[in-house]
Amino acid sequence: MHSSPQATNTTRMFARVLGPFLVLVIVVALGRFSDLRTLLSQVDSNPFVMWVGGAFTLLTGLVAIALHPYWRGAAAITVSVLAWATALKGLLLMAFPDASTSFATSAIDAAPVAVVSYVLVGLIGVYLTYVGWAPVRRRSTPRVVGVTPFLHRAA
C-alpha cells in the first residue's frame, strides 16, 4: 500500500529533523557518558528545571502528534511512535519528577544496558536521517510504444 504524497512529505520532513537530532544527542551523550550522573544530579536538585523541561518536551510531542497523524510505513510509524513517546515523557517529567530521575539514575548505573539503548536509538536516528535526506526515487511510468497522445481523434 502506498501513502498519500502529503503523508510521505510530512514523514520525510519530520525524519529530516528527528534523524539528525537523535544521532547528535546520542553521540554527545555517549561522549559525555561519565558526566551524565553529575548532570542528572544538578537537574534533580532543581524541580523547576525538571518541570520546565517536561513542559517543553510535552509540547514538542503534542506538536509532532498533531502534525504527523500517519501510521503507514516503517518511517511513518517510527515518527509517530517517537511523537507519542516524547509527549508521554514530557508528561511523566512534569507529573513524576522523582520517579523520572530515579529511572534515569538506574539506567546510567546499568552502563552496558544504557550504552546498548543509546546505540539502538542512534541507529533509529541514522535510519530517519536516511529516510529524510535520501533522494526520492521516482517511479517510472510505463511507456506504451506506438501511441501518440497528442493526435486528435478522427471523427
Confidence of residue 39 (pLDDT cuts 50, 70, 90): confident
Q: Is residue 143 part of a domain?
A: no
Q: Is residue 146 part of a domain?
A: no
- pTM, two decimals, is 0.81
Q: Is residue 141 part of a domain?
A: no
Q: Is residue 154 part of a domain?
A: no
Q: Is residue 36 part of a domain?
A: yes
Element (H, E) at 42: helix 36-44
Helix 5-31 vs helix 111-133: crossing angle, to nearest 10: 140
Which domain covers residue 23, as residue numbers?
8-132
Region 67-93: what's the mean pLDDT? 96
Tens-place pLDDT, residues 75-86: 999 999 999 999
Confidence of residue 1 (pLDDT cuts 50, 70, 90): very low
Domain count, the chain: 1
Tens-place pLDDT, residues 3-32: 788 889 999 999 999 999 999 999 998 898
Cα separations in angstroms, 128 against 13, 21, 64, 100, 117? 10, 10, 15, 27, 17
- The predicted pLDDT at position 153 comes to 60
**Residue 125, amino acid:** G
Q: Is residue 3 part of a domain?
A: no
Tens-place pLDDT, residues 96-150: 988 888 888 787 778 888 889 999 999 999 999 999 999 987 766 665 555 555 5
Q: Is residue 150 part of a domain?
A: no
Q: Is residue 127 part of a domain?
A: yes
Q: Would you list the DSSP string of 122-140?
A: HHHHHHHHHHHHSPPPPPP
